[in-house]
């Protein structure tokens, strides 16, 4: 957000509240790589009960954003324990808005989605300008059974410190999300380049010319000709073909090399230099597969130790066993906790 010119006011887990000129709505949606959705801030305050939520909702002013013909819906996410449910909040906020602005409710696919969060005793409300999440970039035509979101992939690449003049390998690349995001990042391709839809298309303030102009300015910085050393290897041919299809859709197939290889035999196939490794290996979510995953981790770590000394690595996994293997073997720079959906995972950054 800061890099794009916004002034960050506050960060909460999973949220950044920032101040910027109104056009930032377009820029943020089109260019942020690690955000899921962009909201226009409406109101926030501390609450104890539904009465407090009701009076905060009364303060919401939608007049700048609607012409009165829109359908609307309220969606709430609640964290903590409360004497009311999310559905109660939807109903209370919905009633206030329907009465005050005379909008009709349409829950399935409203023009205007009012999103509210109740986080312990804090209430926040905003307008969803994105629609479906920004991790849906528009280039993924092959769906891996356990894919990493492009938003999280970008985050891991950023965390690694990789720059386009360095080489990067994802040795368990699945459908190729990490190499593809790195290539797009290196070429300055905005995250929204392939995305066909934003919710703000349906909102009153939307000025197509303004948005097209902004896109033209950002797209002028794309370097389609830039060649980088980005590699993705994967054990299963099916996923690798998927990765190739996705990379072709993302127009980066000319700068990412994909190969079927076994990460347990990294040292045998590495005939190129690797400055950075960024990967999310399989997690043994079922007990039966835990043993196999532990074995894979042991052999993978042994390979790193044998032939990649000096390389910086970022690995995301839900298995604590990985920590046991690297803790004393490598120089660990950072450990972060990330929720992957409902699954708590850790991200390890270390130098081999
Ligand atoms: C969690 S998935 C990675 C998903 C990927 N980041 C994506 O976005 O599609 C882990 C991948 O590691 C692959 N894998 C498992 N064992 C492997 C091995 N020994 N060598 C290389 N890849 C392996 C799996 O087939 C799977 O595609």
More confident residue, 340 or 274: 274
CA-CA distance, 175 to 119, in Å (whole number)? 35
Q: Is the pLDDT of residue 106 over 90?
A: no
pLDDT grade, residue 286 (50/70/90)? low
346 and 281 share one domain: yes
Partners of 57 in the beta sheet?
none
Range from 7-21, 83-97, 267-281, 303-317 carrying the lowest mean pLDDT:
7-21
Considering the domain architecture, whether residues 289 and 321 belong to the same structural domain is answered as: yes
Q: Are strands 122-128 and 112-119 parallel, antiparallel or unpaired?
A: antiparallel
Q: Is residue 176 part of a domain?
A: yes
| Separation CA 261–CA 44 (nearest Å) | 51
Q: Is residue 213 part of a domain?
A: no
What is the spatial distance between Cα 309 and Cα 4, in angstroms, rounded to a whole number? 35
* Ligand 1 midpoint to CA 187 (Å): 25
Domain with 242 in it: what CATH number? 3.40.50.150
Q: Is 41's pLDDT higher than 70?
A: yes
> CATH no. for residue 53?
3.30.2130.30
Average model confidence (pLDDT) for the chain?
Answer: 95
- Confidence grade of residue 139 (pLDDT, cut at 50, 70, 90): very high
Confirm or reject: Cβ of 264 under 6 Å from ligand 1.
Answer: yes
Give mean pLDDT, residues 199-204: 95
* 301, 163: one domain: yes
Question: Do both 65 and 102 map to the same domain?
Answer: yes
Distance from C-alpha of 298 to C-alpha of 313, rounded to nearest angstrom: 16
The answer to whether residue 210 sits within a structural domain is no
The total domain count for the chain is: 2
Same domain (yes/no): 122, 160 = no
Give yes or no for a contact between 350 and 326, defined as CB atoms under 8 angstroms apart: yes
Q: 12 C-alpha vs ligand 1 centroid, how far in Å?
A: 32
Q: Which 3 state secondary structure label does DSSP give 35?
A: coil
Does ligand 1 come within 6 angstroms of the Cβ of 58?
no
Report pLDDT for 341: 82
Q: Work out the burial of residue 143: count CB atoms within 10 Å of its CB; fewer than 13 is exposed, 13-18 middle, 19 or more buried.
A: exposed
* Tens-place pLDDT, residues 146-193: 999 999 999 999 999 999 999 999 999 999 999 999 999 999 999 999
In this structure, the dihedral spanned by the alpha carbons of residues 322, 79, 124 and 112, taken in order and rounded to 10 degrees, is 90
pLDDT higher than threshold 60 for residue 288: no
Ligand 1 neighbour 45 (Cβ under 6 A): no
* Shortest-distance Cα residue to atom 3 of ligand 1: 174
Find out whether the beta carbon of 146 lies less than 6 Å from any atom of ligand 1.
yes
Ligand 1: which of 142, 234, 258, 341 to mutate, most ligand atoms within 8 Å of CB? 234
> Does 285 have pLDDT greater than 80?
no
Q: Is residue 165 part of a domain?
A: yes
Residue 75 and residue 180 in one domain = no
Please tell me whether residues 122 and 162 are part of one structural domain: no
Residues 177 and 110 in one domain: no
Q: Is residue 5 part of a domain?
A: no
Give the residue among 280, 349, 344, 351 at the shortest CA–CA distance from 316. Answer: 280
Lowest mean pLDDT among 8-22, 278-292, 337-351: 278-292
Residue 27 lies in a domain: no
Pocket test of ligand 1: the residue of 135, 136, 172, 249 to mutate, having most ligand atoms within 8 Å of its CB, is 172
Closest CA to 63 of 88, 42, 39: 42
Domain with 113, as residue range(s), is: 39-128
- Ligand 1 atom nearest the C-alpha of 300 is 19
Please check whether residues 87 and 172 belong to one and the same domain. no
Distance 281 CA to ligand 1 centre (A): 6
Q: Establish if 90 belongs to a structural domain.
A: yes
* Domain identity same for 53 and 176: no
pTM of the model: 0.95
**Tally of CB atoms within 10 A around 163:** 12
Give me the percent of the chain exceeding a pLDDT of 70: 99
Give yes or no for residue 287 having a pLDDT over 70: no
pLDDT above 90 covers a percentage of the chain that reads: 92
- Do 347 and 277 fall within a single domain? yes
Query: Taking 70 as the threshold, does the pLDDT of residue 322 lie above it?
Result: yes
Same domain, 169 and 269: yes
Instruction: Say if 81 falls within a structural domain.
Output: yes
**pLDDT bracket for residue 339 (50, 70, 90):** confident
335's tokens: 């450990």
Please state the atom number of ligand 1 nearest to the C-alpha of residue 263.
20
The CB-side HSE value for 132 (13 A sphere, CA atoms) comes to 9
More confident position, 214 or 10? 214
């Amino acid at each position: 957000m800061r890099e794009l010119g916004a002034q960050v006011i506050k960060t909460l887990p999973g949220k950044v509240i920032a101040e910027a000129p109104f056009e930032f709505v377009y820029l943020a949606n089109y260019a942020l790589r690690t955000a899921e959705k962009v909201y226009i801030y409406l109101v926030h305050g501390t609450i104890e009960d539904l009465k407090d939520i009701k009076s905060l909702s009364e303060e919401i002013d939608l007049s700048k954003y609607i012409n009165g013909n829109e359908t609307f819906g309220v969606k709430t996410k609640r964290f903590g324990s409360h004497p009311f449910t999310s559905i109660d909040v939807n109903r209370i906020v919905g009633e206030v808005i329907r009465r005050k602005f005379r909008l009709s409710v349409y829950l399935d696919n409203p023009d205007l989605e009012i999103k509210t969060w109740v986080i312990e005793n804090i209430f926040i409300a905003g307008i969803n300008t994105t629609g479906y999440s920004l991790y849906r970039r528009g280039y993924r035509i092959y769906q891996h059974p356990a894919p990493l979101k492009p938003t999280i992939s970008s985050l891991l690449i950023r965390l690694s410190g990789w720059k386009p003049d360095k080489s990067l390998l994802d040795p368990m690349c699945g459908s190729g999300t990490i190499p593809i995001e790195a290539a797009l990042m290196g070429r300055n391709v905005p995250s929204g380049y392939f995305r066909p839809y934003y919710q703000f298309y349906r909102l009153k303030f939307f000025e197509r010319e303004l948005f097209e102009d902004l896109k033209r300015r950002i797209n002028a910085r794309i370097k389609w000709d830039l060649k980088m050393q980005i590699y993705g290897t994967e054990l299963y041919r099916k996923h690798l073909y998927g990765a190739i299809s996705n990379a072709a859709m993302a127009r980066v197939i000319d700068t990412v090399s994909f190969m079927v290889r076994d990460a347990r035999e990294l040292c045998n196939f590495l005939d190129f230099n690797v400055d950075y490794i960024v990967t999310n290996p399989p997690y043994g979510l079922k007990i039966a597969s835990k043993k196999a995953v532990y074995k894979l981790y042991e052999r993978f770590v042994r390979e790193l130790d044998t032939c990649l000394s000096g390389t910086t690595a970022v690995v995301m996994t839900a298995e604590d066993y990985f920590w046991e293997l690297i803790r004393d073997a490598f120089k660990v720079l950072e450990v972060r906790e990330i929720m992957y959906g409902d699954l708590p995972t850790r991200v390890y950054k270390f130098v081999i």
